[in-house]
Chain A
Amino acid sequence: DTGVSQDPRHKITKRGQNVTFRCDPISEHNRLYWYRQTLGQGPEFLTYFQNEAQLEKSRLLSDRFSAERPKGSFSTLEIQRTEQGDSAMYLCASSYRQGRSYNEQFFGPGTRLTVL
Chain B
Amino acid sequence: TQLLEQSPQFLSIQEGENLTVYCNSSSVFSSLQWYRQEPGEGPVLLVTVVTGGEVKKLKRLTFQFGDARKDSSLHITAAQPGDTGLYLCAGVRGAQKLVFGQGTRLTINP
Q: Identify the A interface with B (CB < 8 A).
A: 4, 31, 33, 35, 40-45, 48, 55-56, 91, 93, 95, 97, 102-110, 112
Residue among B41, B43, B95 having the largest count of chain A Cβ atoms under 10 Å: B43
Nearest Cβ on chain B to A54's Cβ, whole angstroms: 12
- Which of B96, B100, B101 is in CB contact (< 8 Å) with A31? B96
- Across the interface, do B96 and A43 meet the contact criterion of CB distance under 8 Å? no
Instruction: Determine if A103 and B96 form an interchain contact, defined as CB atoms under 8 angstroms apart.
Output: yes
Does A56 lie within 8 Å of B42, measured CB to CB?
Answer: no
Residue pair B42, A42 in contact (C-beta under 8 Å) = no
Cα-based distance from A90 to B94 in the complex (angstroms)? 22
A35: chain B residues at CB < 8 Å are 98
Given contacts A42-B88, A42-B90, contact A105 B40 (CB under 8 A): no
CA distance A31 to B92 in the complex (A): 15
- Interface contact B92-A102, CB-CB below 8 Å: yes
Pairs of residues from A and B, 8 with the lowest C-beta to C-beta distance, nearest first:
A42-B100, A107-B42, A42-B103, A43-B100, A42-B88, A45-B97, A42-B102, A107-B43
Would you give the shortest CB distance from A9 to chain B, in whole angstroms? 8
Q: Which residues of B contact A44 (CB under 8 A)?
A: 100
Query: In the complex, what's the smallest C-beta–C-beta distance from B38 to chain A, in angstroms?
Result: 10
Complex Cα gap A42–B103 (Å): 6
Question: Residue among A45, A97, A103, A112 with the most chain B CB within 10 A?
Answer: A45
Choice from A55, A93, A102, A104 contacting B42 with Cβ under 8 Å: A93
